Structure 1
């Protein structure tokens, strides 16, 4: 089971790092999943991730107070709006766009109601 959690953490970390440079791929959720995987498989990697100067801070903010930085909130909201615009531009069926818009609004509401770090 330890190998599973290690692989899970490494894959989540890789996706999180890709999300740093890819506008539509989120970063923090994958970093949180990586922290979970490493906490169950490798104390050394878990400490490294939490202590990392760039990757560790959003995890620490979330773990300490459920907080999300204002910049991250704006980036997430902009990404969600971008996805919605692309869906319309590529001709996604109107019913699916409505479902997508409702889901993204719920996610945005969750994000914006979290405390700020």
Structure 2
């Protein structure tokens, strides 16, 4: 029963991750990491293909081995969060305009504390 669940979740995560390559507000890496996690439990052959992929494999291995994020990935993530927080600040009414800023500050601080790949 678990295997089909992991396989379905892995495929859905991979589809969302691949869509994130083309859609700027949809994050790619978290979905690909989730897909690798699910494939490890649902279909190890698919996990091996994902790890062998030249685009996604290195970041998955870096995350698994050291919890590392590339410097480029960190910069891009923080930049996107800054843009999102500023958008929330100007588009939401007080006190709601603080929510995106607070969330992005916490997540951005966490991202910056991860080791660099």
What is the TM-score normalised by the length of structure 1? 0.92
Cα distance in 1, alignment partners of residues 14 and 95 from structure 2: 34
Quote how far apart the aligned CAs of 1:21 are. Answer: 2.1
For the pair 1:79 / 2:53, whether they are aligned, the reply is no
Which residues of structure 1 form unaligned runs of 5+?
none
Quote how far apart the aligned CAs of 1:85 are. Answer: 2.5
For the pair 1:103 / 2:103, whether they are aligned, the reply is yes
| 1:29-48 correspondence to structure 2 within 5 Å | 29-48=30-49
| 1:1-117 correspondence to structure 2 within 5 Å | 1-89=2-90, 91-117=91-117
The residue matched to 1:57 in structure 2 has which SS? helix
Indicate conservation of the 8 Å contact 1:24/1:83, yes or no. no
Count residues in correspondence.
116
Q: Which moved more, 1:79-88 or 1:106-115?
A: 79-88
- The 4+ residue runs of structure 1 with deviation greater than 3 A are none
Render the CA deviation track for 1:68-116: whole Å, top value 9, x for unaligned.
0000001111111121232234x21222221221111010001001110
The one of the two structures with greater contact order (alpha-carbon pairs below 8 A, sep at least 6) is 1
